[in-house]
Amino acid sequence: MNYLPGAFDVPLWYIVMHLKGASGILTQKRYCDVLAHRLNQDQANRLISVDDYLLLPDTLHLMVQEEALKFDVWWPAFRDQLLEELKELYLAGLKAGGASESADSLVWEPVSYELITSPEAFEHRVNEMLFLPVRKGLASDPEYYPYNSVNNKAGIDLQ
C-alpha cells in the first residue's frame, strides 16, 4: 500500500479487549448496540474516530485514531463506562431469566493496546483483524463474517 506522507502523524491505536465472565455476548445484538452507541457517541463528539473493528464472541478489536482526546485520557473512561453498561444489561437479562447471579464476574482481561507507527504495522493488524474469524472457525471467508468493519453488522460508524 502507498501512504501519504504524514499518514501516521495522528496517533492510531490498535486495542484488544477480552471480556471474561459471560461467554459469547459481544456478538449478540443488544450488546453490540451498547458498544456501537458508545463508540458512535465518542465519534460524534470528535473524541476519537474508529478506522476498523472486529467483534469476536468474547473479544473486541479496535483501530482508533485520536481526535480531541489523547488515547490515555479517552481509553480508561471508554473501557470502564462500556463495562458498566454491559454489566447493567447483562444483569437485567439475568434477572429477567429469574437468576439471582451478579454481573461482577464481567471484566476486561486481558487488555492490550499498541501505537501503530508504520504502514507495515497497520497492514499487519488490519489483516489480522480480517482473517481472525476464519482462523477461529467462525467463518469460511472473512467477507462473510458479520461483526467486522467489512460487513458492519454492529453499526459502528467508520471513518
Beta strands across the sheet bearing 12-20: 48-56, 59-66, 12-20, 107-116
Write the DSSP assignment of 41-70 as a string of letters.
HHHHTTSEEEEEEEEETTEEEEEEEESSS-
The pLDDT value recorded for residue 1 is: 47
Instruction: Output the tens digit of pLDDT for each of the chain's 159 residues.
Output: 445 545 667 899 999 999 998 889 999 999 999 999 999 999 999 999 999 999 999 999 999 999 999 999 999 999 999 999 999 998 888 777 666 566 678 999 999 999 999 999 999 999 999 999 999 999 999 889 999 998 888 999 887
Write the DSSP assignment of the chain as a string of letters.
----TTTTSS-EEEEEEEEESSTTGGGSHHHHHHHHHHHHHHHHTTSEEEEEEEEETTEEEEEEEESSS-HHHHHHHHHHHHHHHHHHHHHHHHHHTT----STT-EEEEEEEEEE-SHHHHHHHHHHHHHHHHHTTS-SSGGG-SSBTTT-TT-----
Q: Domain 12-144: which topology?
A: Alpha-Beta Plaits (3.30.70)
pTM to 2 decimal places = 0.89
Contact of 63 with 12, CB cutoff 8 Å = yes
